[in-house]
Amino acid sequence: MIICVPIKRVIDYRVSAHIRPDADAIVTAGVKHSINPFDEIALERALQERDSGLVKKVIVVAVGDADTNEILRSALAMGADEAHRIHASKTPSPFLTAQLLKLWLEKNPCDCIITGKQAIDDDANQLGQLLAGFLGWSQAMFASKVSFKKEAAVEVTREIDGGLETIVCQMPAVISADLRLAEPRLASLPAIMLAKGKPITVTDASELELSLTEKTRVFNYRTAPIRQGGKRVANLNELMQVLNEAGMEA
């Protein structure tokens, strides 16, 4: 079995993001980037299956420009067998990314896809569902536990609002990783050095014959308002008065 893990380059979660003065974009120049943490969890889970002998190969694929090679080499250092990049001048929306991956997977088939449940930059939580829909595959989102069965099926425990739900999906399937699915390993220094010399296969987005015209547009960015402190009231009448003064009539 071959597992494909789509990964995304995002601003490192330990870095505070800042908005450009024109409010048109987030400052990215000179800012540390890394693999999206949920994608890193997905990669770890795939590597665990490879290490157990059930999976033959784990491949990673990312969409982006040459800077994206940085996270692909990090994935190779963790233990991925192959790294691929679909070249695009900038990272497209989840909708276009899913379409690109679908076309790419038609030429690079796999048996299962494990990806992060969402990217920490846009928090869209769309890629896994869209990709499963485009491929016509089974899907299991928000997985906290995954168990591959010999009868070409996978049992997945999902984290839902009401607690945990266990489902069985027929393969091929798209699985999205939740926070508790795995603890990513740390790459050793020798593995990091070896990863620098490993090949990264690049496919230009134009070769997939898909227009990268976005269907959505972000007009501006703004910071979240500062949360105001609470206020004690003596009774219900005073509470109603405070709410009315704040324009929240009961």
Q: What is the pLDDT at residue 100?
A: 95
pLDDT tens digit sequence for 37-59: 999 999 999 999 999 988 999 99
Q: Any idea which of 60-64, 208-212, 224-228 has the lowest mean pLDDT?
A: 224-228
243 found inside a domain? no
* Contact (CB, 8 A) for 208 and 103: yes
Q: What is the pLDDT at residue 227?
A: 83
Distance CA 13, CA 33 (A): 8
Q: How many domains does the chain have?
A: 1
Domain that holds residue 85: 2-217
247 found inside a domain? no
Q: What is the pLDDT at residue 243?
A: 87
Distance CA 131, CA 141 (A): 12
Averaged pLDDT for residues 4-28 = 88
pTM for the model stands at 0.86
175 found inside a domain? yes
pLDDT tens digit sequence for 77-90: 999 999 999 999 88
240 found inside a domain? no
φ, ψ at 169 (rounded to 5°): -115, 140
Averaged pLDDT for residues 107-135 = 93
CATH number of domain containing 53: 3.40.50.620
Q: What is the pLDDT at residue 30?
A: 85
Q: What is the pLDDT at residue 119?
A: 93
Q: Which among 8, 81, 73 has a CA at the least distance from the CA of 40?
A: 8
143 found inside a domain? yes
* Secondary structure letter of residue 246 according to DSSP: T
pLDDT tens digit sequence for 20-39: 888 888 888 888 999 999 99
241 found inside a domain? no
Q: What is the pLDDT at residue 250?
A: 55
Q: Which among 95, 102, 165 has a CA at the least distance from the CA of 137?
A: 102
40 found inside a domain? yes
Q: What is the pLDDT at residue 249?
A: 66
Count CB-CB contacts under 10 A for residue 72. Answer: 26
pLDDT above 60 (res 169)? yes
* Contact (CB, 8 A) for 114 and 45: yes
Count CB-CB contacts under 10 A for residue 47. Answer: 22
pLDDT above 70 (res 137)? yes
232 found inside a domain? no
Q: Any idea which of 135-139, 149-153, 160-164, 207-211 has the lowest mean pLDDT?
A: 149-153
